[in-house]
Amino acid sequence: MTNRFARGRGGRGGRPAGGGGAPAAPRRIPRRRPVRRGQIISPFGVGAVNDFRNDEALMCAGLDRWFPNAPDIGLCISEERLQARLGCSHFVKPPDFGEGEGTSKVKIPHVRFPLWHYCPHCFRMEKTTLFGGQPQCDGCAPPGKTWKRRMIPVRIVAICEGGHIEDFPFQEWIGCSCTAADRKLFFKAGRSAASLAGIKIICTACDRTRSLAGAFEEGALTSVKTCSGAQPWLGREEGVHSCQHPLQTVQRGGSNVYFPIVTSSIYIPPSRLVESDVVRNILDMPAIWQQLSSASVNGTVPEAVCSMLAAVWPGVTAKELAEAATARLAGKQSVIGVDSEEDFRRQEYEVLCSGAGSAQDDLFVERADGSDYGWLDRFVRRVGLVRKLRETRVHVGFSRLMPLTDRSDPNVQPLSINSVDWLPAIEVRGEGIFIELREDAIDEWLADGKAAARVAKLISEYNRKRRERQLAPRPIDARFIMIQTLAHALIKELTFTCGYGSSSLRERLYCNLEDPRRRMNGFLVYTASGDSEGTLGGLVAQGAPKRFERLVNDALARASWCSNDPVCMESPDGGAFSSNLAACHSCVLLPETSCEEGNRLLDRALLSGTVDDPDVGFFRDLPFRWAQ
């Protein structure tokens, strides 16, 4: 599906639409430019630069400019758990420009960035504005023609670790002090030079010139210009607050220019959504809870008992109170209003462990015990065949230069100037396999301390980097690293057996770090590239007992050896924040969209051990170790 977020006039290549006559006026934003709906969440969300046909580069504007009026009701998404978690009243999916849809006239606004453009014929440079049209060269119209040549955006920009982005300081780079009216800049690329030394910036007004050699080196712009704190997606060419981070030159389409931060949730059937805030406050009162629990009949609280309470408390019904009280008596947990990400995940974990839903629901989980899976019973407590699931993905922010997963990081940039009660989101339907590991097997593996000793330095370095970024340390342990590495190994192996590419599969980790008394030891591997109609299928079939045993065996065998060994296995650090040990793209690294931790905190030695110390691996005494 595509989203046409702009319309406008103007003929092709800047020519007049009517053929002949006066030169066409510069094209103005908006105009038709298609983007897939899911790409508006990632990777072309708010603040991202997107290249379009006809040599245009535009940046998705902030949420303040998305909908002049209230969004169409057909675009709203409701996911109560995630709304409570993020403090939103609702989510809004990007409009689809499909035939016959009522939202076909709703568009997503963009601003023009970078602002500097140059003529590919005469190399003259011109700076436009965020909301201006694509510049056209005034000095080199073809002989006998009335239309003007289209100027194209420059290929380099400047960003900082704080998430700001601005045009490369061409004038400051060459030492030009001309005013905007007097400057005459040229972007000349030598045909014979393939390096940056062959690209020269020239100002004929002050006779200054300099090549771009060294512009991409770290600290190259430190003495040239400080970060202005610019936020073009919010309409700000200059920042409101000063920025202390140095500028770094990057290509405008580089992978380090934009890292979206997406928060997601797995849909839980309404029968599990048993408590609202009002209901919880009522049931938390000791006197009321004692009265309701003592009035229960065979574990069920009658509605009649709750009718008097419902008459006193506005906004709640007797049926809601009765269902919530009955659920509490059965030991079910509330799924709305949790305080931490760990509690948020625990709600999903309990549903996946126990099985839930039906073929008519958006979540359908069939539970299978580990005893059905042969040799895996020693390590796996249960497997959940998730035949149907619905995931809501919400864009909450983004970073630059370094990928971040914590939306509380001070370097995460906002999506709007003013506070809004909604966020952009999409819904994805698919299937998956849930694996819960045995707690006693993990405790036995960790008892000798070898695994903890191996990852101690990695965890220390990871948390040191977090403290440098003013983030609280995370209580990471060997258990978490092993579970995530196992998820990566299975995704790698599934690409060979179920037909999905690794970028089409995702992991969702259930491993608590804050409360050791309520352990979670599992993960979900599920399809990530479906749409409202679902996916191709085939993933759940790999969870059948005999087939899944072979899948895990092959995944561990493949992960036990890497084509980059012994360098990979003996690597002391790797990845962002130096947060990996034995992990590279030849063994367990995945596309960044598939990993919740951004390909950090991985070590395949925790699966099958090392040559010198096989006992460091969780699956240490199985025959597939080192098998080829």
How does pLDDT run across 290-346, given as a tens digit for each residue?
A: 888 888 887 788 888 888 888 887 767 787 788 778 877 765 444 455 567 888 898
**Residue-level pLDDT at 405:** 78
Model pLDDT for residues 334-358, shown as the tens digit of each residue:
445 556 788 889 889 988 988 877 7
Query: For the stretch 212-237, what's the b/e string if a residue is b when 16 or more beta carbons lie within 10 angstroms of its beta carbon?
Result: beebeeeebbeebbbbbbbbbbbebe
Query: In this structure, are residues 242 and 337 in contact, taking their beta carbons and an 8 Å threshold?
Result: no
pLDDT over 70, % of the chain: 85
When pLDDT is cut at 50, 70 and 90, the band that residue 403 belongs to is confident
Return the H-helix or E-strand segment holding 556.
helix 545-559
Mean pLDDT of 464-471: 84
The residue among 315, 325, 330 whose CA lies nearest residue 288 is: 325
The identity of residue 486, as a single letter, is L
| E runs forming strands in 208-258 | 208-211, 248-251
DSSP 438: -
Whether residue 192 has pLDDT greater than 70: no
**Residue-level pLDDT at 102:** 53
When pLDDT is cut at 50, 70 and 90, the band that residue 99 belongs to is very low
Whether residue 275 has pLDDT greater than 80: no
**Residue-level pLDDT at 211:** 93
Mean pLDDT of 93-102: 64
475 prior amide bond cis, ω within 30: no
Mean pLDDT of 273-292: 71
The mean pLDDT value of the chain amounts to: 84
Whether residue 42 has pLDDT greater than 90: no
Mean pLDDT of 26-39: 67
Whether residue 535 has pLDDT greater than 80: no
